[in-house]
Amino acid sequence: MVKIIVANDYEEMSKKAAAIIAAQVIYKADSILGLATGSSPIGIYDYLTKWYQEGSLDFSQITTVNLDEYRGIEKKNDQSYDYFMHHHFFDRVNVRPEKTFLPNGMAADVEEECARYQKLIDDLGGIDLQLLGIGHNGHIGFNEPGESLEANVHCVSLSEKTIEANKRFFASAEDVPKQAYTMGMRSIMEAKKIVIVANGEGKAEAIAKAFAGKITTKVPASLLQLHPDVTVVVDQAAASLLPSYMQ
Ligand code: F6R
């Protein structure tokens, strides 16, 4: 079942989504949280950090597994998702470093790394709450639109468009990672609860297609309509193309 929450703006979207995650952490102190990077969840991490600093949240028993990581860049590179997570969240709260997991972008063997990360997720016994952003094309994680979707952790080649879009963060286009590891659709769909956030006009079409359109691999997020517990938290701009009864 999909529940849609429309917030006034990014700030309120972040606060409402963070409140759902905070409730999960309070309700189950040893929750497994599936986490996302990107610009959408930054405000959420800020709220969770604030509530931790105020003494309202304790992450000491929490385990985190991230959706994705670029292949071929070091953790210490400020464009790695590992760096992002430390910068925006891990280093600011009391989550235990040995309980935070991301794919290893520098692994020598791709197949082995996919198998290792998949086993890690499966051995944790599944994800209690998965936080997601959504791409303009409806991707979740790096599960890109296509004729079919991968079930398990896999390594994807980034499209020219993505490489072009990411170029601004790197010294040159050659430095942009060409591949990334991502959780597949199975682990995402097996999460007990999913919270997906989006803000801004640019995401309106993706949100409308994903939650008010057909269920299709051409819009990977549309598969979330089949999940029993999904909360979509969007600002008004991102909600603007949803039919009025959903807003
Ligand atoms: C990030 C991820 C991606 C992003 C999506 C939206 O871990 O898995 O699917 O959530 O590309 O990115 P932003 O939030 O930067 O618009």
User: pLDDT tens digits for 127-142?
Assistant: 999 999 999 999 999 9
pLDDT in the model for residue 166: 76
**Pairing mode, strands 32-35 and 2-7:** unpaired
**Pairing mode, strands 68-71 and 129-132:** unpaired
Cβ 36 under 6 angstroms from ligand 1: yes
Q: How many residues does the chain have?
A: 247
Q: Is the pTM of this model over 0.95?
A: yes
Query: Which protein residue's CA is at the shortest distance from atom 9 of ligand 1?
Result: 141
SS3 20: helix
Segments of the chain with pLDDT less than 50: none
* Cα 53 to Cα 44: distance, rounded to the nearest angstrom: 14
C-alpha 40 chain-centroid distance: 9
139 is catalytic: yes
Q: How far is ligand 1, taken at its centre, from the CA of residue 58, in Å?
A: 26
- Give me the amino acid identity at 40: S
Query: Which protein residue's CA is at the shortest distance from atom 1 of ligand 1?
Result: 37
- Residues 38, 133 contacting (CB under 8 angstroms): yes
Cβ 103 under 6 angstroms from ligand 1: no
Ligand 1 atom at minimum distance from 203 CA:
16
- Residues 37, 221 contacting (CB under 8 angstroms): no
pLDDT in the model for residue 172: 82
240 secondary structure, DSSP code: T
pLDDT in the model for residue 247: 86
Distances (CA, A) of 37 to 44, 54, 84: 11, 24, 7
Q: In 10 A of CB 219, how many CB atoms?
A: 23
